[in-house]
Amino acid sequence: MVLRIVINKEGKKFLVKDTSQDLHTQYGFLKKEDLKKKSGSKLVSNTGKEFSIFDARFIDLYRKIKRGAQIIPLKDIGLIISETGISKKSKVLDSGSGSGATTCFLANIVKEVISYEIREDFFKIVEKNIKNLGLKNVKLKHKDIYLGISEKNLDLIVLDLPEPWKVIEHAAISLKPGAFLVSYSPTIPQVMDFVDAIRKNEKFSYLKTSEIIEREWEVESRKVRPRSQAIGHSGFLSFVRKI
């Protein structure tokens, strides 16, 4: 079944999972017959509030994924994609899978994603998220990445792990020359140990470590200012290249 989105002018949106029932919102309810109308149709709730309806896109469903472990936020995934230039031809490995947020977002734009997760409970969450997003190009493995990587000729490896330096030697074997290794860590001691190990390793060239600070603004007539609730710290991204 195609899931649908109803949205109002103020951007309040609701995911329609079941078109055999009316949709109840804080703006009144929308009749089930209306929820089947074609994309772009205007709908009006019983209280007179206007909505528009369309088929849910990947990003609408992605924002609803089930979470177990802390995910890499979109602002940081954006930098991984832009700095490495991965595309529909790329073969990528992501570990740990966690909630599958990074795995699923990358799978939507690359050829294939292999994802390693050590914890069974998180593995099951990722499995479910992959299924709900309809992704067919993910190979999810219940595996400890510190013990090795089976895949070869990878274009990118993304690490979101407590001890990413334990993967450096395995990554050297599995990445193509010129391919990227990106390590995402919430703390600076992890960055220090990772970069130190990379600098000592002849098979890698260290590029940079960055932090993305996103500041969202409130735009309400002439009241235009940064939102008072700033997004807190997420993590540091270290970029490395196989040479």
Residue 100, sorted as left (phi over 0), alpha (psi -120 to 50) or beta, turns out to be left
Hey, what are 195's tokens?
A: 């970069």
Which of 4, 16, 34, 100: binder of ligand SAM (CB under 6 A)? Answer: 100
Label residue 80 exposed, middle or buried (CB < 10 Å: 0-12, 13-18, 19+): buried
Which of 29, 58, 62, 146: binder of ligand SAM (CB under 6 A)? Answer: 146
Q: Is 238 in the site for ligand SAM (CB under 6 A)?
A: no
Site string for ligand SAM, 12-51 (x = CB under 6 A): ----------------------------------------
Q: Is 70 in the site for ligand SAM (CB under 6 A)?
A: yes
User: Cβ(115)–Cβ(138) under 8 Å?
Assistant: yes
Q: What are the angstrom distances between the C-alpha of 202 and each of 8, 215, 235?
A: 55, 38, 26
CB 174, min distance to ligand SAM, A: 14
Which segment (19-27, 138-146, 192-200, 224-232) binds ligand SAM by CB under 6 A?
A: 138-146
- Nearest CA to 4 among 66, 49, 67, 51? 51
Q: Is 74 in the site for ligand SAM (CB under 6 A)?
A: no
Task: Please tell me the distance from the alpha carbon of residue 197 to that of residue 165, in angstroms, as a whole number.
Answer: 6
The residue behind tokens 């079944």 is 1
User: Cβ(174)–Cβ(204) under 8 Å?
Assistant: no
CB 120, min distance to ligand SAM, A: 9
Nearer to ligand SAM, 45 or 174 (CB): 174
Which segment (51-59, 100-108, 206-214, 226-234) binds ligand SAM by CB under 6 A?
A: 100-108
Q: Which residues bind ligand SAM (CB under 6 A)?
A: 69-72, 95-96, 98-102, 116-119, 122, 144-146, 160-162
